[in-house]
């Protein structure tokens, strides 16, 4: 059974704050990790796909790192804005798992003025 855990479950920050949250996954048989951003009433939007230990990806003010040896990924948001308010989901794929995405429960971010 593949368990993907995310923390914290929810987060309230002030506009301008930088924040980060964690996705942890089993390190054995790791294949790939996805990050998605899901705003209410919209489609989940793909942010990053990461595969290599030490990977760092960046998209505007959002960046992510990957540690496959210890089984975690961090997502960072620099200078949070109200439009960053969303649920951030990570999903892992293991080798031999049929290429399926297994999602965490998400981190719900609220950025307040």
Q: Which residues bind other proteins (CB under 8 A)?
A: 4, 31-32, 34, 36, 41-44, 46, 49, 51, 89, 91, 93, 99-106
> Of the two residues 11 and 89, which places its CB atom closer to other proteins in the complex?
89
Helix (H, G, I), strand (E, B) or coil at 45: strand
State in angstroms the smallest separation of the CB of 18 from other proteins: 26
Cα–Cα distance, 25 to 47 (Å, whole number): 18
State in angstroms the smallest separation of the CB of 36 from other proteins: 8
State in angstroms the smallest separation of the CB of 11 from other proteins: 16
- List the beta strands (DSSP E) in 18-106: 19-24, 30-38, 45-50, 56-59, 62-67, 72-77, 86-94, 102-103
């Amino acid at each position: 059974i593949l368990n993907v855990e995310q923390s914290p479950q929810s987060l309230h920050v002030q506009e301008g704050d930088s924040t980060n949250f964690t996705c942890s996954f089993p390190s054995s048989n790791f294949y790939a990790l996805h990050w998605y951003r899901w705003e209410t009433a919209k489609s989940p939007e793909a942010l990053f796909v990461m595969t290599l230990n030490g990977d760092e990806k960046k998209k505007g003010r959002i960046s992510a790192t990957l540690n496959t040896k210890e089984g975690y990924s961090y997502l960072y948001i620099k200078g949070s804005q109200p439009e960053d308010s969303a649920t951030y989901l990570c999903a892992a794929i293991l080798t031999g798992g049929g290429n399926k995405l297994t999602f965490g429960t998400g981190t719900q971010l609220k950025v307040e003025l």
